[in-house]
A and B are shown apart, each in its own frame.
Chain A
Amino acid sequence: MKLVTHGATMRFGGLVAVSDLKLEIDKDEIVGLIGPNGAGKTTAFNMITGVYEPTEGRVVFEGEDITGKAPHRITKAGIARTFQNIRLFSTMSVVENVMVGSTVQEKPGWFTSVFGLPGARKRAKEAREFAMDLLQETGLAEFADEQATSLPYGKQRRLEIARALASRPSLLLLDEPAAGMNPQESLELMDFIHHIRDRFKLSILLIEHHMQVVMGVCSRMYVLDYGVTIAQGTPDVIRRDPKVIEAYLGVD
Chain B
Amino acid sequence: MKTRNNILTLGALVVFAMLLGLADRTVGNYAMRILNLSAIYIVLALSLNLVNGFTGLFSLGSAGFMAVGAYVSAILTMSPDVKDMNFFLEPLAPWLQGLTLPFGIALIAGGICAALAGLIIGLPVLRLRDDYLGIATLGFSEIIRVVITNLQSWTNGAQGLKSIPKVSTTWVVWGVALLAILFMSRLVHSSYGRQLKAVRDDEIAAEAMGVNVFRVKVVSFTLSAFIAGVGGALLGHMITTIDPKMFSFMLTFNILLIVVLGGSGSITGSVIASIAVTVLMEAMRFLDEPLNFLFLKTDGLPGLRMVVFSVLLMIVVIFRQRGLMGEREFSWEGLARAAGLMPRSKKGGLA
Using a CB–CB distance below 8 Å, which chain A residues touch chain B?
49, 51, 70-72, 75-76, 80-81, 83, 87-92, 96, 99-101, 103-104, 106, 108-110, 113-116, 120, 123-124, 127, 163-164, 166-167
Contact = CB atoms under 8 A, between A and B. Distances in A.
Interface residues of B, number: 28
27 contacts: A51-B208, A70-B207, A72-B210, A72-B212, A76-B210, A83-B208, A89-B201, A89-B202, A90-B202, A91-B200, A91-B201, A99-B194, A100-B194, A100-B195, A101-B209, A101-B210, A103-B195, A103-B209, A108-B190, A110-B223, A113-B186, A113-B191, A114-B183, A114-B186, A114-B187, A116-B190, A167-B210
Contacts of A114: 183, 186-187, 190, 192
Closest 3 CB pairs of A and B: A113-B190, A108-B191, A104-B210
Contacts of A113: 186-187, 190-193
Contacts of A90: 201-202
B198 A51 contact: no
Contacts of B191: 99, 103, 106, 108, 113, 120, 123-124, 127
Contact of B219 (A81, A100, A110, A166): A110
A69 B206 CA distance: 16
Given A91-B201, A103-B195, A71 B208 contact: yes
B209 A100 contact: yes
A100 B207 CA distance: 10
Contact of A87 (B186, B195, B200, B204): B204
B211 interface: yes
B197 interface: yes
A170 B56 CA distance: 32
B205 interface: yes
Contact of B206 (A100, A110, A116): A100
A167 B209 contact: yes
B210 A103 contact: yes
A100 B183 contact: no
B186 A116 contact: yes
Interface of B: 183, 186-187, 190-195, 197-198, 200-202, 204-213, 219, 223, 265, 327
A163 B219 contact: no
Given A51-B204, A110-B223, A163 B327 contact: no
A123 B208 CA distance: 20
Which of A72, A116, A120, A164: most chain B CB closer than 10 A?
A: A72
Which of B190, B204, B205, B206: most chain A CB closer than 10 A?
A: B205
Which of B190, B207, B208, B213: most chain A CB closer than 10 A?
A: B208
A167 to B, nearest CB: 5
B211 A49 contact: no
Contact of B195 (A51, A76, A108, A115): A108
A166 B211 CA distance: 13
Contacts of A115: 186
A75 B200 contact: no
B199 to A, nearest CB: 9
B114 to A, nearest CB: 16
Contact of B209 (A75, A116, A127): A75
